[in-house]
Structure 1
Amino acid sequence: MAEELDLDNLKALKVLGKGAMGTVFLVQHNSYHVALKVVDKSSSLHDGARRAHWEISVLSRLSHPFLPTLLGSFESNNLMGWAVPYCPGGDLNHLRYRQTDHVFSPAVVRFYLAEILCALHHLHSMHIAYRDLKPENVLIQQSGHVTLTDFDLSRTLSPTKTNTSPSKSHIPDTAPRKPRRNFRWAPLTKAPKSARVTPAARRAVLSFEHSKSFVGTEEYIAPEVLRGEGHGFAVDWWALGVLAHEMVYGTTPFKGKNRKETFRNVLLKTPEFVGKKTALTDLISQLLEKDPSKRLGYVRGATEIKEHEFFRGVKWDLLTEVMRPPFIPSRDDVTKPFADGLDIRGYFQSLKSPPSLPPSPLRSPSFEFQKNVSSPEF
Structure 2
Amino acid sequence: MDTPPSPPHPQPISLNLDNLKALKILGKGAMGTVFLVHDTTTDPSARSPFALKVADKSSLHTKHDADRRARWEIRVLTRLSHPFLPKLIGSFETEDLLAWAVPYCPGGDLNVLRYRQNDRVFSPAVIRFYLSEIICALEYLHNMGIAYRDLKPENVLVQKSGHVTLTDFDLSRTLAKKTTASTTTFEKRSHKVPVLEIPKKHRRMLTHWIQALPDNNNRLKKAKSARVSPVSRKKPSFDNGERSNSFVGTEEYVSPEVVRGDGHEFAVDWWALGILTYEMLYGTTPFKGRNRKETFRNVLMKAPEFVGKRTDLMDLIQRLLEKDATKRLGYQRGACEIKEHVFFKGVRWDLLTDVLRPPYIPSSDLTEIVTKGNAGIGIREYFQNLRAPPPSMPPSPLPSPTPDPCRGITSFSEY
Shorter-chain TM-score: what band?
0.7 to 0.9
2:227 aligned residue: 184
**SS at 1:216's partner residue?**
coil
- Which amino acid is the alignment partner of residue 113 of structure 1? L
Q: What's the counterpart of residue 67 of structure 2?
A: 49
1:201 aligned residue: none
**Which structure 2 residues correspond to residues 7-22 of structure 1 after superposition, within 5 A?**
7-22=17-32
Specify every segment of 5 or more residues in structure 2 that has no aligned partner in the other structure, as ranges: 1-10, 185-219, 234-241, 408-415
After TM superposition, list the pairs within 5 Å mapping 1:324-339 onto structure 2. Answer: 324-333=357-366, 335-336=369-370, 337-339=372-374
Match of 2:277 among 216, 240, 244: 244
Correspondence 1:148 to 2:194: no
TM-score (norm 2): 0.78
Contact 1:332–1:368 (Cα < 8 Å) also in 2: no
Cα deviation code 1:94-133 (max 9, x no counterpart): 0000001100000000000000000000000100000000
Work out the CA distance in 1 between the residues paired with 2:230 and 2:71: 25
Residues 147-226 of structure 1 mapped to structure 2, 5 A cutoff: 147-159=165-177, 163-165=178-180, 167=182, 177-186=220-229, 210-226=243-259
Q: Does 1:362 align with 2:378?
A: no
- Give 1:184 shift: 2.6
Deviations along 1:125-144, one digit per CA (max 9) or x if unpaired, are 10000000000000000000
Q: Deviations over 1:62-111 (max 9, x none)?
A: 00000000010000111011111110000110000000110000000000
Structure-2 separation of matches of 1:188 and 1:258: 22
How far apart, CA to CA, are the structure 2 residues paired with 1:367 and 1:214?
Answer: 31
Secondary structure at the counterpart of residue 28 of structure 1: strand
Within 5 A, what are the aligned runs for 1:65-80? Answer: 65-80=83-98
Secondary structure in 2 matching 1:214: coil
Residue equivalent to 1:351: 386
| Distance across 1 between alignment mates of 2:133 and 2:395 | 39
| Deviation per residue, 1:4-26 (Å, 9 max, x gap) | 01111111111011121111110
Deviations 1:325-348 (A, max 9, x none): 000001234633335123212222
Q: Which residue of 1 aligns with 2:49?
A: 33
Shift in alpha-carbon separation, 1:242–1:27, aligned structure 2, 3 A: same
Give the alignment of 1:277-296 within 5 angstroms.
277-296=310-329
Question: Aligned in 2, Cα 1:367/1:227: closer, same or farther, shift over 3 Å?
Answer: closer
Alpha-carbon displacement from aligned partner over 1:298-348 (angstroms, at most 9, x marks no partner): 000001000001101110000000011000001234633335123212222
Amino acid at match of 1:353: A
For the pair 1:269 / 2:295, whether they are aligned, the reply is no
User: Is the counterpart of residue 259 in structure 1 residue 277 in structure 2?
Assistant: no
Amino acid at match of 1:182: S
Which structure has more relative contact order (CA 8 Å, sep 6+)? It is: 2
Aligned residue for 2:114?
Answer: 96
From 85, 105, 117, the equivalent of 2:135 is 117
TM-score normalised to structure 1 length: 0.86
SS in 2 for 1:82: strand
Find the structure with the greater CA-based Rg: 2
Is residue 25–residue 33 contact of structure 2 (8 Å, CA) maintained in 1? yes
Deviation, structure 1 residue 189: 10
- 2:110–2:154 CA contact under 8 A, matched in 1: yes
Counterpart residue type for residue 400 of structure 2: L
Percent of aligned positions that are identical: 67
Which blocks of at least 5 consecutive residues in structure 1 are unaligned? 170-176, 191-208, 370-378
Q: How many residues align?
A: 342
User: Which residue does the alignment assign to 2:13?
Assistant: 3
| Cα distance, 1:236 vs structure 2 | 0.2
Alpha carbons 1:16, 1:365 under 8 Å: kept:
no
Alpha carbons of structure 1 residues 363 and 224: separation in structure 2 relative to 1, 3 Å: same
Aligned-residue RMSD, C-alpha:
2.1
Q: Give the secondary structure class of the aligned counterpart of 1:65.
A: coil
Aligned equivalents of 1:107, 1:210: Cα separation in 2:
34
d(CA) in 2 for partners of 1:50, 1:61: 17
